[in-house]
Amino acid sequence: MNLFRKIILSFILTILVSITIISITSNIMINNRFKNYLEEEQQIKFDKIYEEINNYYIDENLSLNQMNLMHYSMAEDIDLTIKDTEENIIYTTKNSPKNGMGRMHMGRNSMHANKYGLGNYVEKLYPLVYDSNAVGSLTIGYIDNSYITDGAVIFLDTMTQSLSISGLFAIAIGIIISLVLSNSLTKPLMVITETANKIRHGDLKAKSNVCTNTKEIIELSNTINYLSNTLSDQDKIRKQYASDISHELRTPLTTLKSHLEAMLDKVLEPSDEHLEILMTEINRLSKLIDDLKDSFVKEEYSMDLNLIEVDITEELMSIIKTYEPLYEEKGFSIEFNFKEDILILIDIDRFKQIMNNLLSNSLRYLNKDGKVIVDLLRNDDSILLSVSDNGIGIKANDLPYVFNRFFRVDTSRNKSTGGTGLGLPIVKSIVEAHNGSITINSEYGKGTNITIKLPITKKNHL
């Protein structure tokens, strides 16, 4: 069953059940309360009649004003019988004990009896008392449900009718609300499903534009749109990646091929100089292949990290020492002032790879009077390692992409500097394989700062 039908059916079912429960309970309660009230009223009336008749009987010296009694009988639809202490009937509104004039007046009540059950004829006995002595008795005969008068019947019928009418209104309103609600829920969901299906069939440009104010549906729609954007980006990256790899591999291979062909055709001498060119291209090819493999280190090698406990300060100092001559050769300087020993668990070869990439990047992109500062900061459970330079910096619009494989800020510039666009992705992969994180800040023309956070994991914590 689809959501649309489910919502409507649930709504109607809920309304029907609630209305039935409300109708039944209110009907039963109102009927009972009302009947009790009428019954009590009838009893009060009978008690009053008894009291008045008792008083007449005494006032008239144990005789009766028969017209008065007849009046009570007619007005209240009851039979009245007065007996003396010897059980002799002194007066009765009945012609015979069970089938008298009184029954004739009671025709009105017999009619109601059709609707609320057939009433029984009952009698109620009251002692007539004078000076605390019994002087006779009064019997009031009536139909037991005669208290349900025309007015009462109309009242109860009106109650039932108004409950039924309001019930019907509630159902109609409930159906309208459920239609609007289910429409407002299912329509955007259908749009989202349609978009998801389009994405599934390869249309990565598909977007779901839903018109709703339901928070969860808006979130779902945004998630689907985010998904399609990500897939589309991934698709672009994949295509770009494939074309970059083939381009990067083709360039040194073409050079190698043309040189070797020329040598085979004896056009080119296999001299040291020419062989050196071939060697450079072969080196470039192997670096590219190594970089390619390393750029997937997180995905492929995170389980294979060779973690050993090292003093990271000492390791940093020795790496920086190897770079010092390279920097000085170009008139640049490199600074590291941290002294405290910090023992951390790390794959030291991978860590060297991180530093090689960062320090060779800075070296590559420094200007005149270039300077690199390496900083180390120790927190409770992590170290913060930062490499800052005052080099050419990176434009703000290029910055978000520097961790993408093969991204190079300026391709022609990188050709001359020998960059492959794999250095920072490799650094990021290694850092993340160590459960760390990396951030880059750069200002174009002023310099770049890269900060790496690595957890200090002790040997006994593994």
Residues in 340-359 that interact with ligand ADP by CB under 6 A: 357
DSSP string, 61-100: TS---HHHHHHHHHHHT-EEEEEETT--EEEESSSSSSSS
Q: How far is the CB of 286 from ligand ADP (least distance, A)?
A: 15
- Give me the residues paired with residue 279 across strands: none
* Under 8 Å between Cβ of 277 and 259: yes
> Which CB, 142 or 407, lies closer to ligand ADP?
407
Distance of CA 155 to the CA centre of its chain: 50
Contact residue for ligand ADP among 80, 143, 394, 438 (CB under 6 A): 394
From the list 36-44, 123-131, 173-181, 390-398, the region that binds ligand ADP by CB under 6 A is: 390-398
Rounded to an integer, what distance in angstroms lies between the CA atom of residue 72 and that of residue 138? 13
How many residues bind ligand ADP (CB under 6 A)? The answer is 22
Selected from 93, 362, 382, 390, the binder of ligand ADP by CB under 6 A is 362
Q: Which of 312, 409, 430, 431 binds ligand ADP (CB under 6 A)?
A: 409
Told to check if 136 binds ligand ADP by CB under 6 A, we report no
Q: How far is CA 37 from the centre of its chain?
A: 53
- 323 lines the binding site for ligand ADP (CB under 6 A): no
Q: Is 365 in the site for ligand ADP (CB under 6 A)?
A: yes
Dihedral of CA 170/176/180/185: which sign?
Answer: positive
Exactly one of 54, 182, 221, 361 binds ligand ADP (CB under 6 A); that residue is: 361
Closest approach of Cβ 344 to ligand ADP, in Å?
24
Closer of 121 and 403 to ligand ADP (Cβ)? 403
Question: Which of residues 53, 156, 345, 402 is near ligand ADP by CB under 6 A?
Answer: 402
Alpha carbon separation from 392 to 124, 268, 397, 446 (Å, rounded): 116, 41, 15, 6
Q: Do residues 79 and 142 lie in contact, with contact meaning Cβ atoms separated by under 8 Å? A: yes
Q: Nearest to ligand ADP by Cβ — which residue?
A: 419
Strands 343-346 and 308-311: antiparallel
User: What distance in Å separates the CA atoms of residue 28 and residue 233, rounded to the nearest whole number?
Assistant: 68
Output the smallest distance, CB 11 to ligand ADP, in A: 59
Q: Answer yes or no whether residue 414 interacts with ligand ADP by CB under 6 A.
A: yes
Q: Which is nearer to ligand ADP, 6 or 446 (CB)?
A: 446
Calculated CA dihedral for residues 203, 204, 206, 208, nearest 10 degrees: 130
Q: Exposed, middle or buried by CB within 10 Å (0-12, 13-18, 19+), for 446? A: exposed
Tell me if 392 contacts ligand ADP by CB under 6 A. Answer: yes
For ligand ADP, which is the closer residue by CB, 78 or 433? 433
Q: How far is the CB of 211 from ligand ADP (least distance, A)?
A: 42
Task: State yes or no: residue 423 binds ligand ADP (CB under 6 A).
Answer: yes
Q: In this chain, which of 188, 370, 421, 436 binds ligand ADP, going by CB under 6 A?
A: 421
Q: According to the binding rule CB under 6 A, does residue 408 interact with ligand ADP?
A: yes
Which segment (22-30, 134-142, 375-383, 388-396) binds ligand ADP by CB under 6 A?
A: 388-396
Q: Which uninterrupted H or E stretch holds 454? A: strand 447-455
Tokens 């609320």 map to which residue? 116
E strand or H helix that includes residue 439: strand 437-443
- Regarding 391 and contact with ligand ADP (CB under 6 A), the answer is yes
Using CB under 6 A as the criterion, which residues of the chain lie in contact with ligand ADP when the complex forms? 357, 361-362, 365, 389, 391-394, 402, 407-409, 414, 419-425, 448
